[in-house]
C-alpha cells in the first residue's frame, strides 16, 4: 500500500513522466551508438576483404593442407578446379547475400545513395561506365553488388554485374564471396558471355579509369582517366550494348592519398605494379577505428551519391572501325560531362567546378 501511494504521488507530481522521457532518450541514444558501431564493423569487414582476404584465405588453405584436416582443403581445391570457369560465365550471384543487413549498415555509414535519371529497357544490354575509381570503388560496390540502395527496385529486370580484376577470382574463398554479389572478372571472355549468351537485361559496370585513375584521386578533385580508354566502347559496339555514364559524387572524398608526381620514384613503382600485376599500390589513409581524429584504414564518413545517366543507344557492329569507336567514345565523354555539370551543384560542388578528363 505504501509503495502504491508513493508511485501515485510520484506520478501525480509529474516526476514519473520525466523519468519515462529520460529512459526513452537513453534508449534512443544507446540504439544510435549500437547502430554506429555496426556501421563501422560493416565497413571494416569490407576494407579488410578488399585488402587482405584473398592472400589470407590462400595462406590458410595452404596451412590446412599441412594439418590433419588436409582432406577438407583437398576437397575444396578439387571443387576449385571443377568450378574454375564459373566467374567467366556470369558467376554465381546470391540474392540472399546481396540483401544482407550488413550492407544497409555499410550504406548508412557514409551514407551512399543511388540516383536514377532514366528508365532502362529490359530488352537491351548495357555497359555502365563508372567514374571515378576512388581508392576502393566503395560506391560501385554498395550500389551494384548489394541491394542496399535499391538497384533492383530502381531498375527492375536489370541484372548488374560489377567487373573487377580477374586476379581476384584466382583467390580461394574470395572468388566465391565476390561472385555471390554479382561481381565478375573484367576481361573479354566474361563480358562476351554476359552480353551474348545470358539473354537481355544485363548491365556490366566497368570502372573505366581503373588503377591509373586511382593514383590521382584525392579529396576536392574531380578528374577521370578516359581519353585513351576506348576498349569498353568497342565491346559495346560488338554486342550492341547501350553505354550508360555513371558519376559518383564524393567517391574521392573518403580517403586521403599521397600523390606522387610524374617522373618521381614513387610513381615509377606504382606504374610498374600497374603494368605487371594489374593494380597500383597507393599510400592512403582514412580515419581510425575508435576516433575520427586519428589515422586508420576506415574511410571517412562522407556522402557518396552515384548518379546513373541517360543511356546512349549503340548499334551492333561485329567489327567496328576505329572511326566508329572514336565517334561513340566522343559521344560518351560529352554525355558524362553533361551529367556531371547537371548534378554537381545538387551534391555540394560549386557551379564553377569542371570535370577534368585525362
Dump pLDDT digits (tens) for 220-255: 999 999 999 999 999 999 999 999 999 999 999 999
Virtual CA dihedral for 53, 57, 63, 64, nearest 10 degrees?
140
**Over 70: is that where the pLDDT of 356 sits?**
yes
Can you say how many angstroms the Cα of residue 302 is from the centroid of all Cα atoms in its chain? Answer: 15
175 contact partners, CB below 8 Å, separation of at least 6: 87, 168, 169
- pLDDT score recorded for residue 14: 54
pLDDT digits (tens, 9 = 90+) for 137-160: 999 999 999 999 999 999 999 999
| Helix-helix angle 15-48:101-109, to 10 degrees | 100
Model confidence at 1, pLDDT cuts 50, 70, 90, reads: low
pLDDT band for position 13 (cuts 50, 70, 90): low
What is the average per-residue pLDDT within 325-331?
97
Band of residue 4 on the pLDDT scale cut at 50, 70, 90: low
φ/ψ (deg, to 5) at 63: -65, -45
Residue 10 has pLDDT above 70, yes or no: no
Q: What is the pLDDT of residue 250?
A: 96
| The model's pTM | 0.88
Lowest mean pLDDT across 6-20, 42-56, 185-199? 6-20
166 burial type by CB count under 10 A (0-12 exposed, 13-18 middle, 19+ buried): middle
| C-alpha to C-alpha distance for 42 and 21, rounded to whole angstroms | 32
| Mean model confidence pLDDT for the chain | 90
In the prediction, which pLDDT does 63 show? 95
Closest CA to 319 of 228, 234, 195: 234
Q: What is the CB neighbour count within 10 angstroms for residue 177?
A: 17
SS3 21: helix
Predicted local distance difference test score (pLDDT) of residue 332: 98
Q: H-type helices in the chain, by residue range?
A: 2-12, 15-48, 54-65, 70-82, 95-98, 101-109, 138-144, 151-154, 174-180, 188-196, 210-214, 231-239, 265-276, 322-343
pLDDT tens per residue across span 157-215? 999 999 999 989 999 999 999 999 999 999 999 999 999 988 999 999 999 998 888 88
- pLDDT over 90 (residue 272): no
Residue 138 CB coordination number (10 Å): 24
Amino acid at each position: 500500500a505504501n509503495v502504491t501511494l508513493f508511485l501515485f504521488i510520484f506520478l501525480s507530481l509529474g516526476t514519473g513522466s520525466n523519468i519515462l522521457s529520460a529512459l526513452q532518450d537513453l534508449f534512443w541514444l544507446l540504439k544510435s551508438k549500437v547502430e554506429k558501431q555496426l556501421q563501422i564493423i560493416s565497413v571494416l569487414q569490407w576494407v579488410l576483404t578488399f585488402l587482405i582476404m584473398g592472400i589470407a584465405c590462400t595462406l590458410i588453405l595452404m596451412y590446412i593442407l599441412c594439418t590433419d584436416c588436409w582432406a577438407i582443403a583437398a576437397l575444396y581445391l578439387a571443387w576449385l578446379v571443377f568450378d574454375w570457369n564459373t566467374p567467366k560465365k556470369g558467376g554465381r550471384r546470391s540474392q540472399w547475400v546481396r540483401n544482407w543487413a550488413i550492407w544497409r549498415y555499410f550504406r548508412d555509414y557514409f551514407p551512399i545513395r543511388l540516383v536514377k535519371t532514366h528508365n532502362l529497357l529490359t530488352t537491351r544490354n548495357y555497359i555502365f561506365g563508372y567514374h571515378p575509381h576512388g581508392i576502393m570503388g566503395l560506391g560501385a560496390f554498395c550500389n551494384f553488388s548489394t541491394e542496399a540502395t535499391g538497384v533492383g527496385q530502381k531498375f527492375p529486370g536489370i541484372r548488374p554485374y560489377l567487373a573487377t580484376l580477374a586476379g581476384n577470382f584466382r583467390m580461394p574463398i574470395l572468388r566465391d564471396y565476390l561472385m555471390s554479389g554479382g561481381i565478375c572478372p573484367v576481361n573479354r571472355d566474361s563480358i562476351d558471355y554476359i552480353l551474348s549468351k545470358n539473354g537481355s537485361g544485363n548491365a556490366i559496370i566497368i570502372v573505366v579509369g581503373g588503377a591509373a585513375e586511382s593514383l590521382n584521386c584525392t579529396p576536392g578533385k574531380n578528374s577521370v582517366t578516359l581519353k585513351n580508354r576506348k576498349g569498353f566502347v568497342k565491346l559495346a559496339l560488338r554486342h550492341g550494348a547501350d553505354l550508360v555514364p555513371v558519376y559518383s559524387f564524393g567517391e574521392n572524398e573518403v580517403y586521403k592519398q599521397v600523390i606522387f608526381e610524374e617522373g618521381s620514384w614513387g610513381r615509377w613503382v606504382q606504374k610498374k605494379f600497374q603494368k605487371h600485376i594489374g593494380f597500383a599500390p597507393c599510400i592512403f589513409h582514412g580515419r581510425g577505428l575508435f576516433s575520427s581524429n586519428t589515422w586508420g584504414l576506415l574511410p571517412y564518413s562522407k556522402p557518396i551519391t552515384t548518379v546513373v545517366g541517360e543511356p546512349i543507344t549503340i548499334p551492333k557492329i561485329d567489327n567496328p572501325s576505329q572511326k566508329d569507336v572514336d565517334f561513340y567514345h566522343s559521344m560518351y565523354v560529352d554525355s558524362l560531362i553533361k551529367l556531371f555539370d547537371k548534378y554537381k551543384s545538387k551534391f555540394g560542388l560549386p557551379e564553377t567546378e569542371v570535370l577534368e578528363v585525362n
